[in-house]
């Protein structure tokens, strides 16, 4: 049972930040935002990367929050954001972890 606990991640999906925990420490903490190109509607990045891209060209991009007031406002964007954050957090992992996700209520 202890080895199963080593391969578990906790995801705290908040309206303003997403935190990913492994054991008792935070392994990723990012803003829960996405930057979208105004012309094509394509998502250009998530989290800190999204904030940087937006501030470089605010007239060409829009910031979106896939989770608003504790509710998933855009399912597809939230799914893509979580996938991006999990890949970023697990960049050196060789196995797939078990996930526990908490969202605000």
Cα–chain center distance at 90: 13
The pLDDT tens digits of the residues spanning 85-103 come to: 999 988 877 677 888 887 6
pTM for the model stands at 0.85
Sketch out the chain's domains with CATH numbers.
Answer: 2-102 (3.30.420.40)
DSSP run (H or E) holding 99: strand 98-102
The mean of the pLDDT values for the chain is 88
For residue 22, pLDDT over 50 is answered with: yes
Position 104 scores a pLDDT of 62
State the DSSP string of 30-57: EES-EEEETTT--EEEEHHHHHHHHHH-
Position 99 scores a pLDDT of 86
CA 32 to CA 15: how far, in whole Å? 7
Cα–chain center distance at 81: 4
């Amino acid at each position: 049972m202890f080895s199963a606990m080593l391969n578990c991640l906790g995801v705290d999906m908040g309206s303003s930040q997403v935190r990913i925990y492994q054991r008792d420490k935070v392994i990723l903490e990012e803003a829960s935002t996405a930057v979208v190109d105004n012309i094509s509607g394509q998502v250009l990045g998530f989290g800190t990367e999204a904030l940087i891209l937006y501030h470089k060209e605010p007239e060409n991009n829009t910031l979106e929050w896939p989770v608003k007031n504790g509710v998933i406002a855009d399912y597809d964007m939230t799914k893509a954001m979580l996938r991006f954050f999990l890949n970023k957090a697990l960049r050196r992992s060789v196995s797939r972890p078990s996930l526990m996700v908490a969202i605000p209520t």
